[in-house]
Amino acid sequence: MTDSWPEGNWFIEFGSPDDLAAFRLSNVLAQGRTRFQHYQIIASPILGKALILDGVLQSAARDEVIYHEALVQPVMLTHPLPRQVAVLGGGEGATIREVLRHSGVQEVCMIDLDKELVNLCREFLPEFAAGAWDDPRLRLFYEDGRAWLAGRPDASLDVVILDITDPLEGGPAFFLFTREMFILAQAKLRPGGLLSIQAGSAGQAVRLLPHLYRTLRVVFPQVIPYTAFLPSFNDLYGFVLAGGPELHWPTPERLSRILQDRNIASLKWLLPEFAPALPLLPGYLNTLLTQQGRILTDSNPIHQVESFPINLSPF
Amino acid sequence: MTDSWPEGNWFIEFGSPDDLAAFRLSNVLAQGRTRFQHYQIIASPILGKALILDGVLQSAARDEVIYHEALVQPVMLTHPLPRQVAVLGGGEGATIREVLRHSGVQEVCMIDLDKELVNLCREFLPEFAAGAWDDPRLRLFYEDGRAWLAGRPDASLDVVILDITDPLEGGPAFFLFTREMFILAQAKLRPGGLLSIQAGSAGQAVRLLPHLYRTLRVVFPQVIPYTAFLPSFNDLYGFVLAGGPELHWPTPERLSRILQDRNIASLKWLLPEFAPALPLLPGYLNTLLTQQGRILTDSNPIHQVESFPINLSPF
Amino acid sequence: MTDSWPEGNWFIEFGSPDDLAAFRLSNVLAQGRTRFQHYQIIASPILGKALILDGVLQSAARDEVIYHEALVQPVMLTHPLPRQVAVLGGGEGATIREVLRHSGVQEVCMIDLDKELVNLCREFLPEFAAGAWDDPRLRLFYEDGRAWLAGRPDASLDVVILDITDPLEGGPAFFLFTREMFILAQAKLRPGGLLSIQAGSAGQAVRLLPHLYRTLRVVFPQVIPYTAFLPSFNDLYGFVLAGGPELHWPTPERLSRILQDRNIASLKWLLPEFAPALPLLPGYLNTLLTQQGRILTDSNPIHQVESFPINLSPF
Amino acid sequence: MTDSWPEGNWFIEFGSPDDLAAFRLSNVLAQGRTRFQHYQIIASPILGKALILDGVLQSAARDEVIYHEALVQPVMLTHPLPRQVAVLGGGEGATIREVLRHSGVQEVCMIDLDKELVNLCREFLPEFAAGAWDDPRLRLFYEDGRAWLAGRPDASLDVVILDITDPLEGGPAFFLFTREMFILAQAKLRPGGLLSIQAGSAGQAVRLLPHLYRTLRVVFPQVIPYTAFLPSFNDLYGFVLAGGPELHWPTPERLSRILQDRNIASLKWLLPEFAPALPLLPGYLNTLLTQQGRILTDSNPIHQVESFPINLSPF
């Protein structure tokens, strides 16, 4: 009734039936249903503009830079010369924005199933792409990412980035997280090629990361999981970098040099000095990754909605 | 009305007037007001048993191990032989639990203003202390921590740990976060002595950390800020280790050896291999720490309730 | 974080998956599970002390007087000389409190399945009964109300009051809302005997009232539905008075005289002048009652969780 | 995360700092700020389309018929021949809709300060007006209602309806609820003319009704307060009908005859048989109206934000 009470419109997201987070809405810019998903583009005093798909927060202006640097910069900076890059998913346009900052890139193919959603992001979230939509190096494909990869010549890509929402019961994303998918991706990579993938929560409710880690290890010689804290998500988030056998996480010195070589003035989150922290995991998460998870396959994809139990008893 | 709806009793904590987190309560074990603060000891499916002071979550069984390892183990493992330890605050008993795991410790003095709260924690949260209350090396003092330090002989402590709730407008904790307080603590440390302090949010709403870092640097030769992700708090949390001039963050090898020497079977969170990640800070936080904050003094203690603005625009 | 934010513990009750009401909790006096139901006895700045069963608010000190006057006083004041009264349910003790205010009452039998709950109410909500538990005219039975009625001699009661929580999927209360049950109750009434029953929402989500009204009409010659606004429930509530054939809703003059005769100083809600309003129903509810609902029987009891649709289009 | 969890966007309205109601939003059709107030036009599964001003729900498609029948029909049906009608406020267009159903009406003047809001209602809530905006008998004025009345010839109106939002601290509506305002309105009424006004909550938090009742009684010979239960508001609402000295609340017979005479097929809420219930008030409210409240004047208008305390202790 008075201005100081937190009434009004709120976005509420449940982490489980027993906990929730809520953000005040200052505006709902667009909402509806595309052929593939329910969407909302909202504005909030805390989040800034944000994209919500099927009731789950995807990206918020407040800190999308962290997520997108974390997904893109390790793989791009580890690769000595990424020229051909494929991004599966990434409708907001911020993943390609980060890729296109690298001066050696000749072509980025972005493959997103949902053309209507991409157009909504272009209209309502243009600052997420920061001009990337108009970059002549970008080619857009509106189709299934796995089918697109299958149709691509072998050994034709330097980097593949999977920016796919967590697979939910019954969704098509299931088949983007299997051994067969990763074998296909590997076949399309040139020698020294790398793959990067977002792996969902590494903190509040770990569901996907141990499975992904285990599955990627049966396909790629080197697999490096790493994490980033995402304030908007109230969570530590997991990512995986895969390739090899010559893959090594870059040193601060190497990162500084590459950033300079590629004319990237600076990153907001991934300081060269900070980079060594990323693949170092707390004990409980390390235990989970080395002892849990199974190989996801087309005939037995992920169907776990329960999160892994974490033992944090002090003794 | 049906079991699947998330109705019932919830604990709601606002991060700001524009965002909140809520946890379903399964029980309220105790609540009331001590001479110093309002308290609740609750149980929740997500948090387990948890302590709430003045409406702010302090510790939850779910992950108090992370917080308490992060506050205690770096300082204890960095010090070559901590025998005399002082803990200011730490009413739940988990801070002294972590201290007492170190076999060389001869005496831990715990100084907490609020005797009634300590007794409530002993009664309702005994598993947080895991027997520490009955350890013959423990001495309990119910008084102001700064006054206790002032009455202590100089050069009589190896480690001082400040486990004090964030200072709120008008509370006595203000004067535990000033230059004069840290000068006093330094005087009580033996050569090679170290101080460790919790510094509040390093993620969602950074209020204290830059001030603390700057203030500690004018007192101690070496000051190392570091972070830990705390799921219950939905946040990255900051801590500071101070001492010097010979203070160096320990290597994994040194940590492994000390853990072995002191008969500490294993830690749940602070794996030796993980430890180097702690003091590495993301770019935006590094910028905040090096460019913001002021020296807190008795005549001008912290009074900032606003959090520091963080610039995460990608360019 | 500050006192003016509405954080803390809240009781949340969903009216449907699409709306909810929440009350700040100042205390949880007791909670747990009896053999029959989950209970909470809470305190709230708005509600005062309140009883919650299976997540649904039952009674709040704030306005239980309205509910209990509405359930009890019409039937007691309409009957010329109620001496033997049976109350089925009514664990809080406020229903018998209202009955026992009538000086001619010789015996009230209260039959409640849940002895543990009754004892909790006696301990934690003594003001709801206002001494009724110790009235020598009270006899308590802890058994199924219908079984108790069946064992009672025919024509031995003047008034039967059903103060039973709404029947939920799978609960035993189903068989207290059927034609067979009402035939049984009628058999136990003396000539001129009356029955009163609470009928759930008559406003927000009408589920029970049309069925009850139709079922009672096939058993009793005269059936009068009426309503009361209950602030704590955010709702208009329905009740039904049944008897006949000589049953007439009392006039204000008759009510004033009876109150005087029976030494009842005054009622808080049921002013004699207000009484004629009770059985007058708004158009949409009148339509629902006369056109909807079916006869509930033992072989086909209520199983409707959906509320009746209400047409309030202006034309 | 799944469809069955009540996450998503919600409208939250606090009744006090200690209680709230929330409705899921299915859409936000428009929101912004006119020169006079903040507005939202939302859609909700429970409310249907609804208008919210300054964070407070004004009207919802679900049951606006109750509110508008309650405000308009008693005054229109009590007056023997209302030809000239003035509506102050009423931006949604539903108040004039109800007035224009009366066949004898020659002219309705609607005076609303907020032209932009009226236009938004015409665009987004056309079903609330049901064509009234295009009725040739309607004249629209965008100015202060009191100033408009002052400029009107004396004894030129049959009915004045005040459909003004509750006066909030510092708003202009203050001076539409004073003795001077009612004296002015009375002067503009022809002999037998009547005034009707909404008076805010008569249940959850009574703030305005006792003051209004007392103030109107020093101006008009006959003043009749009455109530209606409004599901969307979770509340009993108060209204006042004023005129006299020959004013009598109409009987069901008279109402039936007038409805027939004026070709009004039927009302959804105000059945003739139900009408006598309206001015009958429960005891606690009757006590409040006869014992509380003060005369509101231009020099001492309403400034009470606290609600009246209600005593519902049973004895």
Q: Does D216 touch chain C (CB under 8 A)?
A: no
User: Exposure of C80 by Cβ count < 10 A (0-12 exposed, 13-18 middle, 19+ buried)?
Assistant: exposed
The CA distance from C148 to the nearest CA of chain D, in Å, is 30
Residue A133 covered by a domain:
yes
CB D56 within 8 A of CB D40: no
Q: What is the pLDDT of residues B173-188, one digit of tens each?
A: 788 999 999 999 999 9
Asked if residue B164 and residue B24 are part of one domain, the reply reads no
Asked if residue D169 and residue D105 are part of one domain, the reply reads yes
Asked if residue C259 and residue C217 are part of one domain, the reply reads yes
**Confidence class for position D305, pLDDT limits 50, 70, 90:** low
CB D92 within 8 A of CB D112: no
Q: Which helix (H) or strand (E) holds B229?
A: strand B222-230
**Confidence class for position D16, pLDDT limits 50, 70, 90:** confident
User: Using the beta-carbon criterion (under 8 Å), do C1 and B55 form an inter-chain contact?
Assistant: yes
Residue A201 covered by a domain:
yes
Phi, psi angles (nearest 5°) of residue D176: -100, 0
Q: Does B3 touch chain D (CB under 8 A)?
A: no
Q: So what's the pLDDT on residue A304? A: 63
Q: So what's the pLDDT on residue A171? A: 59
Residue B305 covered by a domain:
no
Q: Which residue of D has its CA nearest to B2?
A: D4
Beta bridge partners of C13: C21
Q: So what's the pLDDT on residue D170? A: 53
Average pLDDT value for residue range D161-182: 83
Is pLDDT of A246 > 60?
A: yes
Is pLDDT of A308 > 90?
A: no
Beta bridge partners of B53: B39, B56
Average pLDDT value for residue range B20-47: 90
Q: What is the pLDDT of residues C226-285, one digit of tens each?
A: 999 999 999 999 999 999 898 999 999 999 999 999 999 889 999 999 999 999 999 999
Beta bridge partners of C197: C162, C240
Which of B308, B312, B313 to mutate to test binding with chain A, by most A CBs within 10 Å of its CB?
A: B312
| CATH number for the domain harbouring residue B39 | 2.30.140.10
Q: Does D4 touch chain B (CB under 8 A)?
A: yes
Q: Which residue of A has its CA nearest to B203?
A: A231
Residue D301 covered by a domain:
no
Interface of D with C in 101-140 (CB under 8 A): 130
The CA distance from A92 to the nearest CA of chain D, in Å, is 20
Is pLDDT of D288 > 90?
A: yes
Is pLDDT of D5 > 50?
A: no
Rg (CA), chain B: 19
Stretch among A186-195, A300-309, B239-248, C100-109 having the lowest mean pLDDT: A300-309
Q: Does B299 touch chain D (CB under 8 A)?
A: no
ipTM score over 0.90, yes or no: yes
**Least CB–CB distance from D312: residue in C66, C130, C276:** C66
Mean pLDDT value across chain D: 92
Q: What is the pLDDT of residues B55-69, one digit of tens each?
A: 889 999 999 999 999
User: Using the beta-carbon criterion (under 8 Å), do B168 and C1 form an inter-chain contact?
Assistant: yes
Residue C213 covered by a domain:
yes
**Confidence class for position D3, pLDDT limits 50, 70, 90:** very low
Asked if residue B128 and residue B54 are part of one domain, the reply reads no
Q: Which helix (H) or strand (E) holds B68?
A: helix B64-78
User: Using the beta-carbon criterion (under 8 Å), do B283 and A266 form an inter-chain contact?
Assistant: yes
Beta bridge partners of B225: B240
DSSP state of B263: T
Asked if residue C110 and residue C34 are part of one domain, the reply reads no
CB C37 within 8 A of CB C114: yes
**Least CB–CB distance from A44: residue in B18, B45, B286:** B18
Q: What is the pLDDT of residues C170-186, one digit of tens each?
A: 556 788 999 999 999 99
**Confidence class for position B138, pLDDT limits 50, 70, 90:** very high
Number of domains in chain B: 2
Q: What is the pLDDT of residues A204-218, one digit of tens each?
A: 999 999 999 999 999
Residue A272 covered by a domain:
yes
Q: Are strands C107-111 and C157-163 parallel, antiparallel or unpaired?
A: unpaired
Asked if residue A181 and residue A162 are part of one domain, the reply reads yes
Residue D5 covered by a domain:
no
* Chains touching A, CB cut-off 8 Å, 3+ pairs: B, C, D
Q: Does D311 touch chain C (CB under 8 A)?
A: yes
Residue D109 C-alpha from the chain's centroid = 16
| Distance in angstroms (rounded) separating the CA atoms of residues C141 and C148 | 8
Sheet with B157-163: strands ordered across:
B138-141, B107-111, B84-89, B157-163, B189-201, B235-243, B222-230
Cis bond upstream, residue B279 (ω within 30): no
Q: So what's the pLDDT on residue C266? A: 84
Phi, psi angles (nearest 5°) of residue A95: -70, -45
Q: What is the pLDDT of residues C29-77, one digit of tens each?
A: 988 899 988 899 999 999 999 999 988 899 999 999 999 999 999 999 9
B163 a catalytic residue: yes
Task: Tell me the CB-side half-sphere exposure of residue B111, using CA atoms within 13 A.
Answer: 19
**Confidence class for position C5, pLDDT limits 50, 70, 90:** very low
Asked if residue C215 and residue C71 are part of one domain, the reply reads yes
Domain of B71? Answer: 64-291
> Has this prediction a pTM greater than 0.90?
no
| Distance in angstroms (rounded) separating the CA atoms of residues C255 and C260 | 8
Vertex D36: Cα angle to D32 and D41 (nearest 5): 35
Asked if residue C30 and residue C121 are part of one domain, the reply reads no
Asked if residue D177 and residue D162 are part of one domain, the reply reads yes
Asked if residue C214 and residue C286 are part of one domain, the reply reads yes
**Confidence class for position D17, pLDDT limits 50, 70, 90:** confident
Residue A307 covered by a domain:
no
Asked if residue B154 and residue B138 are part of one domain, the reply reads yes
Q: What is the pLDDT of residues A107-138, one digit of tens each?
A: 999 999 999 999 999 999 999 999 999 999 99
CB D101 within 8 A of CB D95: no
Q: Are strands B189-201 and B157-163 parallel, antiparallel or unpaired?
A: parallel
Q: Does A283 touch chain C (CB under 8 A)?
A: no
Query: Residue C192: helix, strand or coil by DSSP?
Result: strand
| Distance in angstroms (rounded) separating the CA atoms of residues A51 and C62 | 43
**Confidence class for position C17, pLDDT limits 50, 70, 90:** confident
Asked if residue B86 and residue B194 are part of one domain, the reply reads yes
Is pLDDT of A253 > 80?
A: yes
| CATH number for the domain harbouring residue D138 | 3.40.50.150
Q: So what's the pLDDT on residue D171? A: 59
